[in-house]
Structure 1
Amino acid sequence: MLQEAIREIQRGSAEIIDSQRIEKLLKAYFEEGKNYTVKAGFDPTAPDLHLGHTVLLQKLATFQKYGAKIQFLIGDFTAQIGDPTGKSATRKTLSAVEILENAKSYEEQVFKILDPLKTEVVFNSEWINPLGASGMLTLTTTFNVARMLERDDFDKRYKSQTPIAISEFIYPLLQGYDSVHLKSDIEIGGTDQKFNLLMGRHLQRAYEIGKEQAVLMMPILEGLDGVQKMSKSLGNYIGVADAPNDMFAKVLSVSDELMWRYYELLSTKTLSEIEVLKAGVAEGSLHPKRVKEDLALEITARFHSLEVANAAKEEFERVHAKNEIPTEMEEFSVDGEISITKALVDCGLTPSTSQARRDIKQGAAKINQEEISDEQLQLGNGEYILQIGKRKFAKLKVNA
């Protein structure tokens, strides 16, 4: 059982610092029933999570299976500064109202994955605010500027004479101080957070709390394009709050190769179960599409329900396999004749008229399931089913 736990915790990880400590904590749990703490910090800089964020949540859920008490840290104080990781300029600060609204949204979403009985939600303003000027000054003496400038993003900005706010130097110190206050045994984060995660070890040592947290880093999940990291700004994401039909279809759209990456980082299936699926695909006894459908069903059920996920699967098959129109779609109406390019934009099917023209040229645009080629087409009085590609539909009523 211990070796299985170690294997599942190491699964998909990019780097582990002090793996011996993790093994020691697991051994104490299995032999003595002793629990331990695992910290993960989230700055509530946006209200919605996507599957890239849930890579960490899945790992936290795995730790919960093996005796961990999760310290789900919402950085309501540090969010006011903004994490400088990977940034080429000082980040815009968030208001207290925005932070609280985003934090509430986070709490609602994470418990679709984590066991609330084994999770403690904490806000770092609770211990950072009482630090005061004296405590903050003491904190700044634990690290020097030269070491801070060794950090890659700071180094690039310093050499290019791009401004670095003093508050940005404070951010990793405050993240590290979270581990001091919480006395965390393990902290997990993405590979881009290595500097901040190691700061926790450094400060636990500096403040002599009697332990140094182990660090487990997870890779950044690729988006639907299979190349760049999953990101809302890049439009290659699957949102935790996505509608079930959209979520199911998006998972099915990933490549066969990327599917295995998603299985490793997002599925609750064991590594042994995934190996059986891989072997089946390799020998031809399992079709990759069937395996991908199972993954889409699992992920959609996690954030909605199995009943809803099955309905999404049936809808997908009805629309895509049988080339039918969805049973539900957004409806719009306009007064007066409208051009097809403007209609596609106004119905949210494409971001711009120039993109609409490209879609028409490429044969991706349809009206009532009939491909269109005339960019100058005007839509008169009537009702139309507009479509871009296989997944975007809208109903438009023109009152001319």
Structure 2
Amino acid sequence: MGFDPSRPDIHLGHVVGLRKLRQLQDLGHQLILIVGDWTAQIGDPSGRSATRPMLTHEEVMENAQSYLRQFFKVVDRDRAQVVYQSEWFGKFSLADVIGLTGRFTVAQFLERDDFAKRFAEHRPIAITELLYPLLQAYDSVAIQSDVEFGGTDQMFNLLVGRELQEMMGQRAQQCFLMPILVGTDGVQKMSKSLDNYVGVEEAPDDMFGKIMSLPDEFIVSYFEYLTDAPVEGQTVNPMDLKKRLAEEITEVFHDQQAAAAARDRFERVVQQRSLPDDMPVVSLSTVSGPRWSNALVSAGLVSSVSDGKRMINQGAVELFPPSGQSLKITEDGRFEAPEPGTAVKVGRRRFASFQE
């Protein structure tokens, strides 16, 4: 299975395939993880409607180290071989590239859905993108792959690998296509760019909370794709089933104690609307800037002033004074220091306590 380290972290969508690889490891098969340090610089055009910017090799290699650390949370490091595309593509000459491109036609590649749509709509397709399926296909030749794994959106690329192996005198690989995991929005596939993802290195509370935001109709598929736990009958309360799902997944990437604590915190803070006991403390003297959005940045509750404004406009910022009713901040007005001991809540899971 090949991975393009185009970003520094992976999410549960990647884990679907990794879990299947681990099962094959447990059956005694040899696993080869191919780090796409060449193809990541191009970017996989699968399912994309526009050309993506190219990465530098340094950026790709930095991401690759992060990827591998996260992969080995699922697959067994001791029973996996890691290879880099540069082991073979680093030796490629222009003649090798031309020889590879001469085995396929442009018409064949334009049959691919994403290329066909962009071509029909007169949107650009970079020559490098046409090279991507060829380079991925050559990976299968380089390691003499028997089986290649990929998502259902990778079918074209995997089949090109089969054809190229046969052209070069090898036995054609089998293709195992993994289902695409729907993101927490319940609409599109899980993706960091769509902010509907659950990262494998997220804190237990964040991982548990994000899974709890999943629409009920996807609970069963998440159980099937991401756990070995049996799914109970249809009479089970969806909320209880989702909590069990969130606890199962959180335990995989942390431990049983952290998962149980995340569940307890979710039930107290989100369901019972209690304030957490371990809120970070923010000194009012450290708050800089004239508006509430600045205060939220100072408190570490948002990443930027614009993010703070967005949360305020959505009505997702709430104050809990120690001696009064809770109050929502709905306008990015001037920041006036609240009563010491006032808790501030941003979204569903971010809290801090203002103190003198």
TM-score by length of 2: 0.88
1:300: Cα distance to partner? 0.9
Q: Give runs of aligned pairs for residues 1-400 of structure 1, distance below 5 A.
A: 40-209=1-170, 211-269=171-229, 273-274=230-231, 277=232, 279=233, 282=234, 284=235, 286-333=236-283, 334-335=286-287, 338-344=290-296, 347-349=300-302, 351-359=307-315, 365-368=318-321, 370-372=326-328, 375=331, 376=333, 378-380=335-337, 382-383=339-340, 384-396=342-354
Asked if 1 retains the 8 angstrom alpha-carbon contact of 2:50 and 2:124, the reply is yes
Letter in 2 for 1:227: V
Distance 2:309 2:253 in 1: 34
1:152: Cα distance to partner? 2.1
Distance 2:101 2:262 in 1: 53
Distance 2:349 2:276 in 1: 9
Distance 2:36 2:260 in 1: 37
Distance 2:123 2:291 in 1: 46
SS at match of 1:107: helix
Asked if 2 retains the 8 angstrom alpha-carbon contact of 1:359 and 1:388, the reply is no
Asked if 1 retains the 8 angstrom alpha-carbon contact of 2:289 and 2:295, the reply is no
Q: Which range is displaced more, 128-137 or 260-269?
A: 128-137
Asked if 1 retains the 8 angstrom alpha-carbon contact of 2:282 and 2:354, the reply is yes
Q: 1:374 to 1:245 in 2, by over 3 A?
A: closer
Asked if 1 retains the 8 angstrom alpha-carbon contact of 2:315 and 2:328, the reply is no
TM-score by length of 1: 0.79
Aligned residue pair count:
345
Distance 1:177 1:144 in 2: 16
Distance 1:175 1:237 in 2: 25
SS at match of 1:351: helix
Letter in 2 for 1:387: K
Distance 1:148 1:390 in 2: 46
Distance 2:199 2:288 in 1: 36
SS at match of 2:34: strand
SS at match of 1:359: coil
The CA deviation string for residues 7-49 of structure 1, in whole angstroms up to 9 with x for no partner, is xxxxxxxxxxxxxxxxxxxxxxxxxxxxxxxxx1110000011
SS at match of 1:184: coil
Q: 1:288 to 1:161 in 2, by over 3 A?
A: closer
Q: 1:164 to 1:256 in 2, by over 3 A?
A: closer
Asked if 2 retains the 8 angstrom alpha-carbon contact of 1:60 and 1:70, the reply is yes
1:138: Cα distance to partner? 1.6
Question: Runs of 4+ in structure 1 displaced over 6 angstroms?
Answer: none
Letter in 2 for 1:256: D
Q: 1:63 to 1:326 in 2, by over 3 A?
A: same
Letter in 1 for 2:173: Q
Letter in 1 for 2:327: E
> Considering only aligned residues, what root-mean-square deviation do their CA atoms show, in Å?
2.4
- Work out the percentage of aligned pairs sharing the same amino acid: 43
Distance 1:90 1:341 in 2: 35
Q: 1:388 to 1:184 in 2, by over 3 A?
A: same
Distance 1:120 1:252 in 2: 35
Q: 1:390 to 1:92 in 2, by over 3 A?
A: closer
The CA deviation string for residues 41-80 of structure 1, in whole angstroms up to 9 with x for no partner, is 1100000111111111112122223332211111001112
The CA deviation string for residues 180-221 of structure 1, in whole angstroms up to 9 with x for no partner, is 111111111111111111111011111011x11111112221
The CA deviation string for residues 144-167 of structure 1, in whole angstroms up to 9 with x for no partner, is 111112222222333333332222
Q: 1:330 to 1:73 in 2, by over 3 A?
A: farther
Distance 1:134 1:63 in 2: 38
1:237: Cα distance to partner? 1.2
Asked if 2 retains the 8 angstrom alpha-carbon contact of 1:366 and 1:388, the reply is no
Letter in 2 for 1:194: M
Q: Which range is displaced more, 341-350 or 298-307?
A: 341-350
Q: What residue number does 1:32 align with? A: none
